[in-house]
Amino acid sequence: MADGTESQIIETPEERRRRFLLEFERPFKCEKCDERFKKKKYLREHKAEVHSY
Ligand SMILES: [Zn+2]
């Protein structure tokens, strides 16, 4: 299992905090590419642009 995913298992408290803040700041996540947005409007625009087809 040496596929370089070890860094995902070990998560420092600082990384946890950063991810929490990111999710708190940008609660609207695109379910197609996991990108995050501050506003629902941005997510809608992103979807229309990137995943329109
Ligand atoms: Zn997307």
pLDDT of 1 over the 60 cut: no
SS (H, E, C) the chain: CCCCCHHHHCCCHHHHHHHHHHHHHCCEECCCCCCEECCHHHHHHHHHHHCCC
Domain of residue 46 covers: 27-53
The per-residue pLDDT for 5 is 59
For residue 24, CA distances in Å to 3, 5, 15, 37, 52 come to 30, 25, 14, 10, 27
Does residue 46 form part of some domain?
Answer: yes
Q: What's the number of domains the chain is made of?
A: 1
Indicate the pLDDT class of residue 8, thresholds 50, 70 and 90: low
pLDDT of 18 over the 80 cut: yes
Does residue 36 form part of some domain?
Answer: yes
Does residue 47 form part of some domain?
Answer: yes
The per-residue pLDDT for 3 is 63
For the chain, give the mean pLDDT: 88
CA 23–ligand 1 middle distance (angstroms): 16
Going by C-alpha positions, the residue among 48, 7, 12 that lies closest to residue 30 is: 48
The per-residue pLDDT for 11 is 84
CA 7–ligand 1 middle distance (angstroms): 25
